[in-house]
Structure 1
Amino acid sequence: MSPDMIAALSTIYAYTAIGAGIILAGAGLGSALGWGLICAKYLEGIARQPEMRPQLMGQMLFTGGLMEAFPMIVLGLSMWFVTANPFVGAFLSATSKAAGGH
């Protein structure tokens, strides 16, 4: 493997790690904002109708659980990109075809 190919592979891995980090940061920020909004509306609902507290708490936890699934899905996808990077396979396939291999 030539030094240029090694440099290109290093660049692919570096950019993939940076992209996964940015995606995870966005998912974490979205989750935090979502929980903040959910809890704020829960407290507003209790302030308006205190007798609805048990029903509102159930809805808050259900909605929060659904919202919390998004960062876990993003975490799984980003770990897939970092560990089993599909871009590396595509790069190696393209360079072997360009070099005349099969």
Structure 2
Amino acid sequence: MLTANLSEEIRELNLSYLMLAQRLLLEDRQSGMFRLGLGEDAADVIEALSPAQILRMSSSGMMLCQVRFDERLLLELLSNHEREPAVASIHAAILAASRPVENLA
């Protein structure tokens, strides 16, 4: 039962991520690539996915998105409520921009 629930939640997360990623890339490719942390090759693949491919990929059983919780400073900036929120967001965006993008190997 727990495994079935987890699989369904991963599928829903993947579906939401792929649909959002594709929309971001189609509306403003450069901004979408920055927000998603993707390189040109990964963006090309996501943009070209058909609805059937998105559904198939979302059911793969593994999370397709990468959560950026590996940088402590970035997390602290985004969660720190003592600072001015706009300044913290700008600082976090600068830090995120300095990270390498994800590419397909």
Fold shared per TM-score above 0.5: no
Max radius of gyration: which structure? 1
Classify the TM-score, shorter chain: 0.3 to 0.5
Give the number of the structure with larger relative contact order, counting CA–CA contacts within 8 Å between residues 6 or more apart: 1
TM-score (norm 2): 0.34
Q: TM-score under structure 1 normalisation? A: 0.34
